[in-house]
Amino acid sequence: MSKTGYFTHPDCRRHEMGRGHPECPERLDAIDDRLLVTGVADALDRREAPLAGESRLALAHSRRHIESIQALAAELQEMGKGGLSDHLYIDPDTAMNPHSYTAFLRAAGAAVAATDAVIAGEMENAFCAVRPPGHHACRERAMGFCVFNNVAIAALHALENHGLKRVAIVDFDVHHGNGTEDILAGDERVLMVGLFQHPFYPYSGTNPRADNMVNVPVPAYTKGDKIRPMIEDVWLPRLEEFKPEMIFISAGFDAHREDDLGQLGLVEDDYKWITQQIKDVAKKHAKGRIVSSLEGGYNLGALGRSVEAHLRVLADL
Ligand SMILES: [Zn+2]
């Protein structure tokens, strides 16, 4: 059995938000290409992401939000028949084309299916190479390229449908995971640890909304040598004390030095180190169970190399 699952689906490439948008289909090609050329792909248990059911979306989102996205999807289908423009904007950064709704369900479905497979013991851990990302998606609204919160849905699925009692979420994207915080602040079954550039989009996270949100704001131009001790001093003691039964990762790679969407200075070695810290906690308390899902990462070369580094640790390569 492969130790590490890799969940993805071609439908995730068909969602696109207009020419020049950084959250583009080529991101997934960059990851796939890198994993193929380095041989890492051979070591992974590759699986097709299923479509998430509505009941799964409703774990993290209001009925009103789900229905508003479905209404846009229906409108796009109608527009398609008339040959009109094929994008609708949900917020200034976030658009839908006629294929987007299916991609949304695949992205959430990947995280849910990965959770099922890991809890069933079919694999120790898993990575979801999906788009759109999810960590800015709030209970009531889409924002910042995100529509449904893939990681929050999967974490709640583990709690509600698999009977786990404590799960941790680790978010190392350059942006604060405000959507995950919106959905899970105050839920004592969840501990979220995050780091993000501050001050920076979405300009939140410095006043945590509840004790289960452990945020580490980091000034622009900080590198790994300063970030590693912050993780050791702030994240690790809380994770250790919490003893999660499973760990979810909002794996954004836009804190990479070469990524122009943020100004932090992480490199591949830092992603390796961070992943190893998470894995050590998972080994100790959670039977090694980790589900990691792609969030940001917009420099295609750096994204491919960083995901490779992350997966090499997850898969012991
Ligand atoms: Zn980001």
Say what the pTM is.
Answer: 0.98
pLDDT per position as a tens digit, 289-311: 999 999 999 999 999 999 999 99
pLDDT per position as a tens digit, 30-64: 999 999 999 999 999 999 999 999 999 999 999 99
Annotation marks residue 157 as catalytic: no
Q: How far is the CA of 80 from the centre of ligand 1 (A)?
A: 31
Ion ligand 1 neighbours (CB, 5 A) are 173, 175, 252, 254, 296
Q: How far is the CA of 219 from the centre of ligand 1 (A)?
A: 15
Q: How far is the CA of 246 from the centre of ligand 1 (A)?
A: 23
Helix or strand holding residue 293 (H, E): strand 290-294
Q: How far is the CA of 149 from the centre of ligand 1 (A)?
A: 13
pLDDT per position as a tens digit, 138-188: 999 999 999 999 999 999 999 999 999 999 999 999 999 999 999 999 999
Contacts of 103 (CB under 8 A, 6+ apart): 11, 12, 13, 14, 15, 130, 131, 132
* CB neighbours of residue 14 within 10 Å: 15
pLDDT of 216 > 70? The answer is: yes
Q: How far is the CA of 82 from the centre of ligand 1 (A)?
A: 35
Could you tell me the pLDDT band of residue 1, with boundaries at 50, 70 and 90? low
Mean pLDDT confidence for 197-202:
97
**Per the residue annotation, which of 65, 136, 157, 310 is the catalytic one?**
136
